[in-house]
Each structure stands twice: as structure tokens, then as C-alpha cells.
Structure 1
Amino acid sequence: MTGNRPLSNWVARAAEIAGTGLWRITGQVNDGDERADARHMPEFADGWWRRPLAMEPYGSVLGLTHAASGRTVVELGGTAEPVAVGSRAVEILARIESEPWPHGELDPAERDTLKAEDPAVVHLLLSRWAAEGTPSAQCFHLLPWEWVDQMVAGVLTVMRGEGAPASTRLRFFFSPAGSRFTAALEQLDSGVRGVNRAIAWKGATDLMTRLPLLDPDRVPERTRHALAELVRALESRNPFLRPVANQAAAHLIGTGASSAGVRVDARLPAAADAGSRIRRRAQRIVRDPFTLQLAVTSTGQAELTVHAQVPESGSGGAALAPEPPDALLVPVRLLGVRGGDRFLVLLLRRAGGLVGRISLPVRPGAAIEADLAGPPLGGLDLPGLGPDEVVASIRAVGTRSGRAAWRAFVADLPDTHPLRIVVEGETR
């Protein structure tokens, strides 16, 4: 015998109130083990059937009953409250699991029914479905994307200086769609409303990082175009976001193709004069406002120089980056070298802009390729950096002054912060 399993990671025992047809919760969350995941508990492996339970003040809620023992549980949402659901929606959920799960599909009428339910129902369904199977992209359109549209419209309104409409909360409901982009969107919303440049910078860079990881087919067309409009508005106010903004917008609305990075053949032709200087072969690529120059030397080194033009102070209206920046941390992808393939280049203020350089030994026979690997990072990003990546990046800096700059860059972190300890250890 098979049956249904919880959609939520939390359940609680329930009992019927005699003579009323109503149910009440009689147990603790997961019988007292809140860290457990009810979806994977052995006791729910077989013999349970899904049903609506009448429970005040929620109306009908999502429940499960064991066919043999009669034991009944109610499923709980993210706030540990019962999940309100209609009887027809319960039938649809039970039908999907009998197809067999997780290879079912929803017809248009079923999608309409679920779309009208509490968003918690759709969130629970898609969370387990996406983890265990491959629901169609159309199923993700059941999420309340109009909330995202409202938040985007609110951010744009604030950025244009046209007031501050009521804020929208997205919470956890969009996590099944992937990439956690709504968390970045909420942070951006908080930053622009609070006129906090650091938080706005963090939200904007996280949004640019996560949107290219989102399956655009899972997002309704109107929301994709709204997000693309927001991305364009952000890069117009912070030119440092322009390269990743172009990629994010193209990914969302399917326009344009990503171009290859700068590439250099590591095999230099033989020199006519054995006593000649160190020879170099170099190429460059512009990712406005960044320029990347990649060179390979006859000593077997790959040297990557990143230059950024600094926008004029006060340009772009309500800019989202510190003005003017004295240092900038830029992620790059560098293929064909020893020591890794992703590094962080620390750019420092020089005449004419911001400049940073790293140098690494070339792998034998490799072609060297470089490009930006994400938006530049601000101070709030530092605690999230991986120590291995930071160590590799510092060791790729060829000058004592360049390594010392790393120490200054993390000086605002607490003395006991792991990243500061790592940087200080590498820059002694």
C-alpha cells in the first residue's frame, strides 16, 4: 500500500472534538522535535491519506490520516500554524501524488484552483515537488508573482523620488523558484527606502548575482520584464553594475548573447634573440566601465590587470555605490592557471581610475581566458567571502603594497572575525 506524505516539514497531532465535526491540535510540532523534517520521517512512508480537517478559526486545513491506526496530523506552515486549504485543492494534491509522485502534472483547471488558494499551499507543494521531481515551469507561475511586481514597482518609485508606496513582504514563498533572488530584492527595497547606500549596494549586487541563476521560464513574462526594468535602472545609477546588469537583463527577457571573455594563447613563439627581454602576449576586453587586460609572459605567468573608470561624484542621481570609491573588490574568472579559476582582484584608486592586478603561473599547454565573474563587492559582502578564495587571491598579488591593501580593506571587520584573521595571516 502507498499513500500521501507530508508536504510540510512540520506536522502536529490532531484529534476530533466529539460531536462537533471540528478538529484541534493535541501535540507538539513533530512530537517535540522541531528540527526533524516530517517529509522524511519513516512513519509517513506508507498508509497515509490526505484530507481536509475543519478547524477554527482557519476553516478547512491540510491534514493526513493513517488508514490503519486512524492517527491524524495537521500540516503546519512556516509560522507553525495550520495551512488553510479548500477540499478541491486537497483532492488535487492527493491526485498528483498518485501519478506516481513526483512525475505528475497539473491541468489548467487545477492550476486555477491552486492559484486561488493560500500561497502557503502552493509553496509547500512546489518545495517538495522541486526537491523530488521536475515540475513544469508553468507550475511555478502559481506563486504570487504579483507581490514581486509590486515590490519592483515600489523600488522604482522610490528611486525616481516619487514617494514611498507601502512596502510588500515576499517572505519565503518564492524559494521553490530557485536562486533566492527575492531575499536580495527585499534587501534592496530596505536600502533604497532607508537611504542606506551600503544595504542598497548589497541588495543590488546580490540581485545581479542571483537573477542569472533563475530559470526564466519559471517566472511570468510580466515579472521578468519588470525585473529587467529594475536591473536597467540600477545600472544607470551605479555604472559598476553595468556588465552584470546586461547579462541579467538578457537572461530574463532572452535578448542578446553573452560574449566570450578575453583569451590568450599561452604558447609564445620562439624568440629570435635568446638574450631578449621577457616577452609578453596580451589582449584586452572592455566590460564598461571595466577594462580587463590579460597577458602571458615567456616566464610562464598569466597577468590580469583590471581597470575601472570612476564615475564623477554625484553622477547618476541617487547612486547606489559609495562616491567616489577608493577601493573595489572585483570577482574574476581566470582559466588555465594554477591555483584556482575564480579570484578576487582588489582595485585601488590611481590616477585615471581604479586599478588592480594579479599574476599566476600558467598550466602547461593551456589557453588562458579571463572575464568578470560577478558584480563588484562592497563592505557588507566581506563576511560572506570564502577563506580559500581570499587566500588564493592574496597570494596572486605580486607586490607587498598590494597585499597590504588587503589588510586595510578588511580593517572595519572585528579583530576576531575569521576573514580578518585570514587576511592578516597572509599579509604579515
Structure 2
Amino acid sequence: MSDTAPAPHRPLARWVARLGIAGSEPGTHRVTGPVNDGAERTDARALPLFQDPAWRRTSVNAGRDDGPAGRTLALQHPGHGTVYAELDDYGCPLRVSAEGTDLIARIEQGWDAPPTGPDVLRVLGGESLDLRHALLHRLTVETDPPPALFHALPWADLDMVVGNVLTMLDETGPVRPPGRELRHWFTPAARRLAGPLAVLERGMREGREPAALRHEAASLMTGLLAAPSARIPPPTAQRLARLAERLSARDPLLRHTARVIGSRFHEPAAGRSPSLSLRLDPVLPAAARTTGASYRKAVRDELFEAKAEHTPGGRVRVTLTFPADTDEGVWAAVADDLVAPLFVRTADSEPRRLWIALRRRAGSLLGVLDLFAPPDRFELVADEPAVPFAALRTIPAVELLPSLRASSTATQRLWDAAATALPAGHSVSVALRLYREDVTG
């Protein structure tokens, strides 16, 4: 291996610590050095120390302080014999089996194309959750790992929580608290999945207000939309699709999102996707260019509709229409206080999310934005569920400004009305102040 080749064996965990020999226990090491040699805010994999390709993957019998010793994932430098133990999020040695050590060494040697056979999943499934999370997190950040590897995560724990929610939705019997918290174990496979699901399940058991339950249901739906479905084992994916369908019975405004999730998660997918997605070219068709007429496209999923009107002046007027009769859903959101997410996607840039304020009109909820057309072919997607303005509290105010600039005077009044009921420091209130300063400045 040349000096310029990347080091194949580097830390999996964020933290490592130097090991020393424990004199009273032959063959046993003790953590003697500080975390990351004192740079505990630095990710261990980025430390210059581990850019040396001579490091080798190993495991040693190690413990911390007076705690018990056990087989610990480690890195050893054959040139000077230095050994570093990998540590979990609590600074304790990261436990591993002998088989697990060998497997991680194999995976590191073929980092861009790791093995995924049944033996790999069997060994990974027997390792600690901390180890599985560290390995899959690293792979996800640095490469595009095969989806099957994520099936080694503890999906049975997630299935149990899904089962509890379904039981409570169907009112088919009592439930018990899950035996183990979902925590962050599933984030390598899908973000915004385990967290909203766990909060929703607990909220239902504790009888929280419908508004809080609806918020977590919408957040869960958003996470499911973004989840790479192949990373989720098929039985779990089908349970999640069923859960999305049952949640949409509590709030009809979630029905479109639930159908999109079902079309992605069910095997095989049932027919054409119901996605509210419109693909447009930056240049109008010849007929529109020569006549000066607008070019219109629309897509519909039952009572949910997205339309785009592309004008010769390079503007795109987007109109979303949702059903307004939500009285039948016991978690139904207040229809006069909702914004719908709209994604603008191009091939060469990150998706841009805008927010469309919705108002009642002719028995429907209607929202309109007027945008400049991107210079390249673009796609408009409106599959995420509508949420109350209050749910935008975690969105930085500056990220809401493009939505305000694309809103009509009538639509801005909806933002104003919502801001009056929100705290002065809420993102919606701050965004409105910044917008007015920009307009009048």
C-alpha cells in the first residue's frame, strides 16, 4: 500500500482511548489515556494519528477504571505496539466478539463494497447495538452501503412499538411499555422514524391531547416518506405502511401521504405511485413560446391536487388543493392554521423546501405560491403532510423568507394571522419581521 492510499483501518466510534497493560491481570488492558488523546470534541476517525495505513484492526481484553474487562474493539500499530480501544457514547470500551472483529476487518478492507451475505447479517445481529450503530453510521456517512446491511439493526424492537400503536388505534386490547427504548439505533437506516414513532406510542399510552398526537403522526409520516425503503426489512416495511394507513383514518389530511408511503413500502408496489409530482422544463414548449400562452400541468390523487402554470415570463404559479372536510378525523388539525410543504428539486442542487399557507375556499383548502422557474429541468413535489404554523418553530426564520417572498398579499395575511397567536420569538414571527425589514429597507 502506498503512502498516499487511504488507511483502511480507522476508528468506527467517535471516541478512542490509549490502552495500557494492567499489571495484576496478565493479558488484560486498561483504558489509561484521555478520550481522543484530549481532543474529545474531534471525531476520532479524523485524527491525524489514524491516517497512517499501518494501523490494524484487532480486539483485546480491556476494561475501564475498576470496571470488568471484556473483548473490546481496538486498533493496533505494529510498528510501535500502541493500542487504542474504541469507546461507546458513555466512554466505555466498545464490546465485540472474535467473529465480529474479523467481520469488521473484512468490511474495512472493502469499505466501498462491503459483504452482505447471510453470515454477515448473522454476525452483525449478534453484536452490541453500539457497535452496529457505529459501523452503519460510518458506512452511511462515507459510502453508499448495500441496503441489506441495515437489516441487522434491531427491527424487532421497532416492530413491537408499531404493534402497540396499531393495537391502540384499533382498540383491540391493552398494551405494555416497550422493553427497550428505540433511541438513535435506527438513524443510519432512516432519520425521523424511530423518534416520532416512540413519542407517538408513549403519547397514546399516556392519553395526550389530539393536537400533540397529530403532530407526531405527521412527523412520522414525513420520516417514512424520506426513508430508503430497501433498508427496512419487508415485514417491518409492510407494518409501517399499515400504520400510515391507520393514522390517516385519524386525520384525512394524512391520507395522501399514507398512500405514497404504501406504494413505496408494499411489495410489490401496487400500480402507479400517487405522488403529487410535476416535472417541468425551464424552456416552455414551442406552442407556448409562439403563442405567448402559459403551459399548465396538473396531477391528482383523489381530493389532493397539485397544479403548475409556467408563464413565458419565467414564472411558475403553483396551486395546491387539499380536502377541507376533516371533521371525521379525531386528530384533525385546525384547517385555518395550516401550511403545506412543497419541494423544488433540480438535478444539480439540494432540494429546496417552501411552505404554502392554506385557506378555505369552495369546500377545499387552497394554497398558492408564485416562483421564478429554475434554470434547469425541475420537479415540484407536494407529498409531505400539511402542518400547523406552530410546527415551523424548528425551521430557521431565514429559511422561511423565500416562502414569504413567493406569497401573494392575501397569502401573507395568513402568515400574519398565524403569527399573532405565536410567541414573538417563533420562527414565523421572526421571518415576518425580517421580511418586512427587507421590503421596507
CA distance in 2, matches of 1:281, 1:216: 34
Structure 1 window deviating more from structure 2 (288-297 vs 176-185): it is 288-297
**For residue 286 of structure 1, what is the aligned residue in structure 2?**
300
Structure 1 window deviating more from structure 2 (82-91 vs 184-193): it is 184-193
The match for 1:354 among 346, 349, 365 is: 365
Matches within 5 A, 1:2-401: 4-21=9-26, 22-46=28-52, 47-49=54-56, 50-55=58-63, 56-57=67-68, 59-97=70-108, 99-161=109-171, 162-167=173-178, 168-194=180-206, 195-253=208-266, 254-255=268-269, 256-259=271-274, 261=277, 285-295=299-309, 302-313=316-327, 315-316=328-329, 318-319=330-331, 321-322=332-333, 324-333=334-343, 342-350=353-361, 352-360=363-371, 372-387=382-397, 389-399=399-409, 401=410
RMSD across aligned positions (CA)? 3.4
Instruction: State the Cα deviation string for residues 120-145 of structure 1 (Å, max 9, x = none).
Output: 22222222233333432222211111
CA contact (8 A) 1:342 1:373 kept: no
Instruction: Classify 1:348/1:14 alpha carbon distance in 2 versus 1 (closer, same or farther; 3 Å).
Output: same
Alignment-mate amino acid for residue 158 of structure 1: M
1:416 aligns with 2:422: no
Aligned residues: 412
Instruction: Classify 1:379/1:24 alpha carbon distance in 2 versus 1 (closer, same or farther; 3 Å).
Output: farther
- Per-residue deviation at 1:212? 3.1
CA distance in 2, matches of 1:64, 1:363: 49
CA distance in 2, matches of 1:293, 1:228: 27
CA distance in 2, matches of 1:39, 1:368: 37
- Per-residue deviation at 1:68? 2.5
**For residue 275 of structure 1, what is the aligned residue in structure 2?**
none
Alignment-mate amino acid for residue 320 of structure 2: V
Q: Which runs of 5+ in 2 are unaligned?
A: 2-6
CA distance in 1, matches of 2:279, 2:20: 68
Secondary structure of 1:422's aligned partner? helix
Instruction: Classify 1:191/1:412 alpha carbon distance in 2 versus 1 (closer, same or farther; 3 Å).
Output: farther
Structure 1 window deviating more from structure 2 (10-19 vs 380-389): it is 380-389
Instruction: Classify 1:212/1:297 alpha carbon distance in 2 versus 1 (closer, same or farther; 3 Å).
Output: closer
Secondary structure of 2:358's aligned partner? strand
TM-score by length of 1: 0.83
- Per-residue deviation at 1:113? 2.2
Instruction: Classify 1:117/1:269 alpha carbon distance in 2 versus 1 (closer, same or farther; 3 Å).
Output: closer
Secondary structure of 2:21's aligned partner? strand
- Identity fraction in percent: 30
Q: Which runs of 5+ in 1 are unaligned?
A: 272-277
Instruction: State the Cα deviation string for residues 159-184 of structure 1 (Å, max 9, x = none).
Output: 23333321341112222214442223
